[in-house]
Amino acid sequence: MNMVSPWTSRDTLERNVPLIRLEDDADLREIYEFGKKLGQGSFGVVYEATHIETQTKWAIKEVCRPAAGSSTAKMLGHEINILKQVNHLHIIHLQEVYHTAKMTYFVTELCVGGDLKQLLQRKKFLTEDETRHIICSLADAVVYLHRRDIVHRDLKLENILVKNYLDEDDDGRINIKVTDFGLAVKTGGVGIENIIREACGTLVYMAPEVMSGRGYSQWCDVWSIGVVMYMLLCGEPPFVCKTKSKLLKEIMNKEAKFTQPIWATVSDAAKNLLTCLLKADPAYRMSANQLLENPWITGDTNVPAMPSNVLEMMRNHLEQKERAQTLGDLSLSSSEGTLDSPVLPVDSTVTDNGSHTETDSCSCPPSNSTQ
Protein backbone atom coordinates (compact mmCIF):
# COMPACT_ATOMS: atom_id res chain seq x y z
CA MET A 1 0.00 0.00 0.00
CA ASN A 2 1.38 3.40 -0.96
CA MET A 3 -0.18 6.26 1.00
CA VAL A 4 1.80 9.09 -0.57
CA SER A 5 0.69 9.66 -4.14
CA PRO A 6 -3.04 10.41 -3.59
CA TRP A 7 -2.17 13.43 -1.43
CA THR A 8 0.73 14.81 -3.41
CA SER A 9 0.42 18.13 -5.22
CA ARG A 10 3.23 19.28 -7.51
CA ASP A 11 1.78 22.48 -8.94
CA THR A 12 4.72 24.87 -9.39
CA LEU A 13 2.93 27.89 -10.85
CA GLU A 14 2.91 31.07 -8.75
CA ARG A 15 -0.64 32.13 -8.12
CA ASN A 16 -2.01 35.59 -8.77
CA VAL A 17 -3.40 36.48 -5.34
CA PRO A 18 -5.27 39.81 -5.46
CA LEU A 19 -4.04 42.49 -3.03
CA ILE A 20 -6.90 44.97 -2.75
CA ARG A 21 -6.91 48.37 -1.04
CA LEU A 22 -10.14 49.58 0.56
CA GLU A 23 -10.96 53.09 1.73
CA ASP A 24 -12.61 51.92 4.93
CA ASP A 25 -12.89 48.74 7.00
CA ALA A 26 -16.66 48.89 6.63
CA ASP A 27 -16.21 48.34 2.87
CA LEU A 28 -15.14 44.75 3.52
CA ARG A 29 -18.48 44.09 5.25
CA GLU A 30 -20.15 44.81 1.91
CA ILE A 31 -18.14 41.98 0.34
CA TYR A 32 -18.10 39.44 3.20
CA GLU A 33 -20.56 38.73 5.97
CA PHE A 34 -18.54 38.01 9.12
CA GLY A 35 -19.62 35.06 11.25
CA LYS A 36 -18.33 33.42 14.41
CA LYS A 37 -14.83 33.89 15.78
CA LEU A 38 -12.69 30.85 15.01
CA GLY A 39 -9.57 31.70 16.97
CA GLN A 40 -7.04 34.29 18.05
CA GLY A 41 -3.29 34.24 17.54
CA SER A 42 -0.38 36.50 18.36
CA PHE A 43 -1.16 38.94 15.58
CA GLY A 44 -4.85 38.75 14.80
CA VAL A 45 -8.31 37.29 15.10
CA VAL A 46 -9.74 34.72 12.67
CA TYR A 47 -13.43 34.75 11.74
CA GLU A 48 -15.63 32.56 9.63
CA ALA A 49 -17.00 34.62 6.74
CA THR A 50 -19.37 34.24 3.81
CA HIS A 51 -18.72 35.89 0.46
CA ILE A 52 -22.03 37.69 -0.07
CA GLU A 53 -22.17 37.44 -3.86
CA THR A 54 -21.18 33.76 -4.20
CA GLN A 55 -22.28 32.52 -0.74
CA THR A 56 -18.99 30.62 -0.40
CA LYS A 57 -17.46 30.09 3.05
CA TRP A 58 -13.99 31.41 3.95
CA ALA A 59 -11.83 32.28 6.94
CA ILE A 60 -10.65 35.87 7.39
CA LYS A 61 -7.67 36.76 9.59
CA GLU A 62 -7.93 40.35 10.78
CA VAL A 63 -4.59 41.95 11.67
CA CYS A 64 -3.89 45.50 12.86
CA ARG A 65 -1.46 47.02 10.37
CA PRO A 66 1.94 47.32 12.09
CA ALA A 67 4.33 50.22 11.76
CA ALA A 68 6.25 50.21 8.49
CA GLY A 69 9.62 48.54 8.86
CA SER A 70 8.74 46.77 12.12
CA SER A 71 9.40 43.05 12.63
CA THR A 72 5.66 42.40 12.57
CA ALA A 73 5.31 44.22 9.24
CA LYS A 74 8.12 42.08 7.84
CA MET A 75 6.40 38.92 9.06
CA LEU A 76 3.15 39.89 7.37
CA GLY A 77 5.04 40.60 4.17
CA HIS A 78 6.79 37.22 4.37
CA GLU A 79 3.52 35.42 4.88
CA ILE A 80 1.83 37.08 1.91
CA ASN A 81 4.81 36.57 -0.42
CA ILE A 82 5.27 32.91 0.44
CA LEU A 83 1.58 32.00 0.34
CA LYS A 84 1.43 33.55 -3.14
CA GLN A 85 4.14 31.12 -4.24
CA VAL A 86 2.64 27.88 -2.93
CA ASN A 87 -0.21 25.70 -4.09
CA HIS A 88 -0.43 22.40 -2.24
CA LEU A 89 -3.18 20.19 -0.89
CA HIS A 90 -1.88 20.43 2.68
CA ILE A 91 -0.89 24.11 2.78
CA ILE A 92 -3.50 26.74 3.55
CA HIS A 93 -4.86 28.42 0.42
CA LEU A 94 -4.67 32.23 0.38
CA GLN A 95 -7.51 33.60 -1.72
CA GLU A 96 -6.97 37.36 -1.46
CA VAL A 97 -5.64 40.12 0.80
CA TYR A 98 -7.34 43.40 1.68
CA HIS A 99 -5.54 46.46 3.06
CA THR A 100 -7.14 49.44 4.77
CA ALA A 101 -5.48 52.31 6.61
CA LYS A 102 -5.72 50.43 9.91
CA MET A 103 -6.07 46.73 9.10
CA THR A 104 -4.91 43.89 6.87
CA TYR A 105 -7.30 41.01 6.11
CA PHE A 106 -6.17 37.58 4.89
CA VAL A 107 -8.95 35.61 3.16
CA THR A 108 -8.09 31.91 3.30
CA GLU A 109 -9.83 28.60 2.89
CA LEU A 110 -12.03 27.66 5.83
CA CYS A 111 -10.84 24.93 8.20
CA VAL A 112 -13.69 24.01 10.52
CA GLY A 113 -11.93 21.41 12.67
CA GLY A 114 -9.73 23.79 14.67
CA ASP A 115 -6.03 22.97 15.02
CA LEU A 116 -4.12 19.87 16.08
CA LYS A 117 -3.45 21.25 19.57
CA GLN A 118 -7.19 21.53 20.19
CA LEU A 119 -7.75 18.07 18.71
CA LEU A 120 -5.04 16.56 20.91
CA GLN A 121 -6.47 18.23 24.01
CA ARG A 122 -9.81 16.55 23.28
CA LYS A 123 -8.46 13.12 22.40
CA LYS A 124 -5.35 13.06 24.72
CA PHE A 125 -3.45 11.10 22.03
CA LEU A 126 -4.11 9.83 18.50
CA THR A 127 -3.96 6.33 17.10
CA GLU A 128 -0.98 5.25 15.07
CA ASP A 129 -3.07 5.22 11.88
CA GLU A 130 -4.40 8.73 12.54
CA THR A 131 -0.86 9.95 13.25
CA ARG A 132 0.51 8.23 10.14
CA HIS A 133 -1.96 10.06 7.90
CA ILE A 134 -1.19 13.43 9.49
CA ILE A 135 2.59 12.99 9.37
CA CYS A 136 2.46 11.82 5.75
CA SER A 137 0.45 14.90 4.81
CA LEU A 138 2.75 17.17 6.82
CA ALA A 139 5.91 15.64 5.33
CA ASP A 140 4.50 15.99 1.82
CA ALA A 141 3.85 19.70 2.44
CA VAL A 142 7.37 20.18 3.85
CA VAL A 143 8.99 18.36 0.90
CA TYR A 144 7.05 20.72 -1.38
CA LEU A 145 8.32 23.75 0.57
CA HIS A 146 11.92 22.56 0.78
CA ARG A 147 12.05 21.89 -2.96
CA ARG A 148 11.22 25.57 -3.35
CA ASP A 149 13.89 26.53 -0.77
CA ILE A 150 11.21 27.61 1.73
CA VAL A 151 11.83 26.83 5.41
CA HIS A 152 8.72 27.16 7.61
CA ARG A 153 10.60 27.49 10.95
CA ASP A 154 7.50 27.34 13.16
CA LEU A 155 5.85 23.98 12.58
CA LYS A 156 3.78 23.12 15.65
CA LEU A 157 0.38 21.72 16.60
CA GLU A 158 -1.20 25.19 16.64
CA ASN A 159 -0.06 25.90 13.08
CA ILE A 160 -1.57 22.75 11.62
CA LEU A 161 -5.28 23.21 10.97
CA VAL A 162 -7.91 20.49 10.58
CA LYS A 163 -9.92 21.05 7.41
CA ASN A 164 -12.96 18.91 8.19
CA TYR A 165 -15.37 18.00 10.94
CA LEU A 166 -14.15 14.49 11.74
CA ASP A 167 -17.62 12.97 11.64
CA GLU A 168 -18.19 14.39 8.14
CA ASP A 169 -15.18 12.73 6.49
CA ASP A 170 -16.26 9.38 5.08
CA ASP A 171 -12.95 7.64 5.70
CA GLY A 172 -12.41 9.24 9.10
CA ARG A 173 -9.05 10.72 8.12
CA ILE A 174 -7.85 13.99 9.59
CA ASN A 175 -7.22 16.33 6.65
CA ILE A 176 -4.62 18.92 7.67
CA LYS A 177 -3.44 22.29 6.36
CA VAL A 178 -0.14 23.93 7.32
CA THR A 179 -0.62 27.59 8.13
CA ASP A 180 1.11 30.65 9.66
CA PHE A 181 4.07 31.42 7.40
CA GLY A 182 5.05 34.61 9.23
CA LEU A 183 8.41 33.13 10.27
CA ALA A 184 9.02 31.29 7.01
CA VAL A 185 12.08 32.23 4.99
CA LYS A 186 13.10 31.60 1.40
CA THR A 187 16.75 30.66 1.02
CA GLY A 188 18.92 30.16 -2.04
CA GLY A 189 19.33 26.46 -1.32
CA VAL A 190 21.35 24.37 1.12
CA GLY A 191 24.83 25.77 0.37
CA ILE A 192 27.09 27.42 2.90
CA GLU A 193 26.09 30.89 1.68
CA ASN A 194 22.45 30.15 2.61
CA ILE A 195 22.96 29.24 6.24
CA ILE A 196 20.28 30.77 8.52
CA ARG A 197 21.34 32.29 11.85
CA GLU A 198 18.19 33.98 13.09
CA ALA A 199 16.74 32.17 16.12
CA CYS A 200 12.97 32.10 16.09
CA GLY A 201 10.04 29.76 16.57
CA THR A 202 8.49 28.05 19.58
CA LEU A 203 10.88 26.52 22.09
CA VAL A 204 9.35 23.08 22.60
CA TYR A 205 9.42 22.45 18.81
CA MET A 206 12.75 24.18 18.13
CA ALA A 207 15.62 22.17 16.66
CA PRO A 208 18.82 22.18 18.73
CA GLU A 209 20.84 23.78 15.94
CA VAL A 210 18.41 26.73 16.00
CA MET A 211 18.82 27.09 19.78
CA SER A 212 22.61 26.92 19.58
CA GLY A 213 22.99 29.99 17.37
CA ARG A 214 25.59 28.28 15.17
CA GLY A 215 23.52 28.36 12.00
CA TYR A 216 20.94 25.99 10.55
CA SER A 217 19.12 24.99 7.39
CA GLN A 218 15.88 23.29 6.29
CA TRP A 219 16.44 20.25 8.53
CA CYS A 220 15.07 22.28 11.44
CA ASP A 221 11.59 21.64 10.00
CA VAL A 222 12.17 17.88 10.16
CA TRP A 223 12.97 18.10 13.87
CA SER A 224 9.66 19.93 14.37
CA ILE A 225 7.82 17.17 12.47
CA GLY A 226 9.39 14.68 14.88
CA VAL A 227 8.15 16.67 17.89
CA VAL A 228 4.66 16.88 16.39
CA MET A 229 4.60 13.11 15.71
CA TYR A 230 5.82 12.32 19.23
CA MET A 231 3.16 14.55 20.78
CA LEU A 232 0.37 13.11 18.64
CA LEU A 233 1.23 9.58 19.77
CA CYS A 234 1.59 10.23 23.52
CA GLY A 235 0.21 13.71 24.25
CA GLU A 236 3.49 15.14 25.62
CA PRO A 237 6.63 16.70 24.09
CA PRO A 238 9.79 14.58 23.83
CA PHE A 239 11.95 17.16 25.63
CA VAL A 240 10.73 19.71 28.18
CA CYS A 241 12.78 22.18 30.24
CA LYS A 242 12.14 25.64 31.63
CA THR A 243 14.85 27.49 29.70
CA LYS A 244 16.42 27.29 26.26
CA SER A 245 19.87 26.50 27.65
CA LYS A 246 18.57 23.63 29.78
CA LEU A 247 16.47 22.28 26.92
CA LEU A 248 19.44 22.35 24.55
CA LYS A 249 21.58 20.48 27.09
CA GLU A 250 18.84 17.88 27.56
CA ILE A 251 18.54 17.29 23.82
CA MET A 252 22.29 17.10 23.23
CA ASN A 253 22.83 14.63 26.08
CA LYS A 254 19.85 12.32 25.61
CA GLU A 255 17.73 10.80 22.87
CA ALA A 256 13.93 10.74 22.84
CA LYS A 257 12.46 8.34 25.41
CA PHE A 258 9.39 6.15 25.25
CA THR A 259 8.63 5.54 28.91
CA GLN A 260 4.95 6.50 29.16
CA PRO A 261 2.61 3.47 29.22
CA ILE A 262 1.04 4.48 25.89
CA TRP A 263 4.29 3.68 24.07
CA ALA A 264 3.79 -0.04 24.78
CA THR A 265 0.94 0.08 22.23
CA VAL A 266 3.02 1.88 19.56
CA SER A 267 4.96 -0.10 16.96
CA ASP A 268 8.75 -0.35 17.04
CA ALA A 269 8.75 1.05 13.49
CA ALA A 270 7.13 4.29 14.70
CA LYS A 271 9.53 4.61 17.64
CA ASN A 272 12.53 3.90 15.42
CA LEU A 273 11.33 6.57 12.98
CA LEU A 274 10.95 9.10 15.80
CA THR A 275 14.51 8.46 16.93
CA CYS A 276 15.66 9.17 13.36
CA LEU A 277 13.66 12.39 13.12
CA LEU A 278 14.85 13.61 16.53
CA LYS A 279 18.57 13.26 15.91
CA ALA A 280 20.26 16.21 17.61
CA ASP A 281 22.89 16.42 14.86
CA PRO A 282 21.16 17.49 11.62
CA ALA A 283 23.86 15.65 9.65
CA TYR A 284 22.31 12.37 10.79
CA ARG A 285 18.68 13.48 10.81
CA MET A 286 16.27 12.07 8.27
CA SER A 287 15.17 14.42 5.49
CA ALA A 288 11.51 15.16 4.79
CA ASN A 289 11.82 13.27 1.52
CA GLN A 290 13.21 10.21 3.28
CA LEU A 291 10.36 10.43 5.77
CA LEU A 292 7.85 10.16 2.92
CA GLU A 293 9.61 7.01 1.72
CA ASN A 294 9.84 5.37 5.15
CA PRO A 295 8.04 2.00 5.44
CA TRP A 296 6.06 3.22 8.46
CA ILE A 297 4.59 5.97 6.27
CA THR A 298 4.07 3.93 3.08
CA GLY A 299 2.73 0.89 4.88
CA ASP A 300 5.11 -1.36 2.93
CA THR A 301 6.05 -4.10 5.39
CA ASN A 302 8.19 -5.85 2.76
CA VAL A 303 10.78 -3.08 2.76
CA PRO A 304 13.33 -3.39 5.57
CA ALA A 305 13.79 -0.31 7.73
CA MET A 306 17.56 -0.80 7.64
CA PRO A 307 19.95 -1.38 4.70
CA SER A 308 19.84 -5.05 3.68
CA ASN A 309 23.41 -5.52 2.50
CA VAL A 310 26.95 -4.46 3.26
CA LEU A 311 27.40 -2.39 0.08
CA GLU A 312 24.29 -0.37 0.88
CA MET A 313 25.51 0.17 4.42
CA MET A 314 28.92 1.33 3.14
CA ARG A 315 27.28 3.73 0.67
CA ASN A 316 25.05 5.16 3.41
CA HIS A 317 28.04 5.57 5.72
CA LEU A 318 29.99 7.52 3.11
CA GLU A 319 27.00 9.77 2.36
CA GLN A 320 26.52 10.41 6.07
CA LYS A 321 30.20 11.25 6.51
CA GLU A 322 30.15 13.64 3.54
CA ARG A 323 27.06 15.46 4.75
CA ALA A 324 28.34 15.60 8.33
CA GLN A 325 31.51 17.27 7.05
CA THR A 326 29.49 19.76 4.99
CA LEU A 327 27.26 20.74 7.90
CA GLY A 328 30.31 20.86 10.16
CA ASP A 329 31.84 23.42 7.81
CA LEU A 330 28.62 25.42 7.98
CA SER A 331 28.74 25.47 11.77
CA LEU A 332 32.40 26.50 11.85
CA SER A 333 31.78 29.30 9.36
CA SER A 334 28.86 30.81 11.26
CA SER A 335 28.98 33.34 14.07
CA GLU A 336 30.20 32.21 17.50
CA GLY A 337 28.52 35.17 19.15
CA THR A 338 25.08 35.63 20.66
CA LEU A 339 21.86 34.88 18.85
CA ASP A 340 20.29 37.50 16.65
CA SER A 341 17.15 39.03 18.06
CA PRO A 342 14.33 36.62 17.24
CA VAL A 343 11.61 37.72 14.87
CA LEU A 344 9.08 36.24 17.26
CA PRO A 345 9.79 35.87 20.98
CA VAL A 346 10.41 32.23 21.82
CA ASP A 347 7.76 30.57 23.97
CA SER A 348 9.76 29.30 26.95
CA THR A 349 6.88 29.06 29.40
CA VAL A 350 6.95 25.28 29.61
CA THR A 351 7.36 23.16 32.71
CA ASP A 352 9.73 20.29 33.39
CA ASN A 353 7.97 16.95 33.12
CA GLY A 354 10.61 14.96 34.97
CA SER A 355 13.33 12.58 34.00
CA HIS A 356 13.19 9.61 31.66
CA THR A 357 15.25 6.51 31.08
CA GLU A 358 17.50 6.01 28.05
CA THR A 359 16.45 4.05 24.95
CA ASP A 360 18.51 2.28 22.33
CA SER A 361 19.48 4.45 19.37
CA CYS A 362 18.45 3.54 15.85
CA SER A 363 20.47 3.18 12.73
CA CYS A 364 19.11 6.02 10.63
CA PRO A 365 19.47 6.51 6.89
CA PRO A 366 21.62 9.47 5.90
CA SER A 367 19.81 12.64 4.87
CA ASN A 368 20.19 13.76 1.29
CA SER A 369 21.82 17.11 0.64
CA THR A 370 18.92 18.00 -1.61
CA GLN A 371 15.28 17.02 -1.78
% of the chain beyond a pLDDT of 70: 71
pLDDT in tens, 55-107: 999 999 999 988 888 888 888 888 899 999 999 999 999 999 999 999 999 99
Indicate the pLDDT class of residue 350, thresholds 50, 70 and 90.
very low
User: Under a CB-based contact definition with an 8 Å cutoff, are residues 294 and 273 in contact?
Assistant: yes
Of the candidates 300, 301, 305, 247, the one whose C-alpha atom is nearest the C-alpha of residue 274 is 305
Query: E strand or H helix at 99, and its extent?
Result: strand 94-99
Average pLDDT of the segment spanning 339-359: 36
pLDDT in tens, 115-142: 999 999 999 999 999 999 999 999 999 9
Indicate the pLDDT class of residue 308, thresholds 50, 70 and 90.
very low
> In the chain, what is the greatest distance between 2 CA atoms, to the nearest angstrom?
69
Domains of the chain (ranges plus CATH)?
16-108 (3.30.200.20), 116-333 (1.10.510.10)
DSSP 210-278: HHHTS-B-THHHHHHHHHHHHHHHHSS-S---SSHHHHHHHHHH------SGGGGGS-HHHHHHHHHHT
The predicted pLDDT at position 328 comes to: 52
Query: E strand or H helix at 95, and its extent?
Result: strand 94-99
Q: Is 154 a catalytic residue?
A: yes
- List, as residue ranges, the binding site: 61
- No. of H helices and E strands in the chain? 10, 10
pLDDT in tens, 165-198: 765 444 668 999 999 998 888 886 555 445 566 6
% of the chain beyond a pLDDT of 90: 55
Average pLDDT of the segment spanning 265-294: 95
Write down the catalytic residue from 154, 169, 268, 352: 154
Q: Structure pTM? A: 0.78
- List, as residue ranges, the binding site for ATP: 61
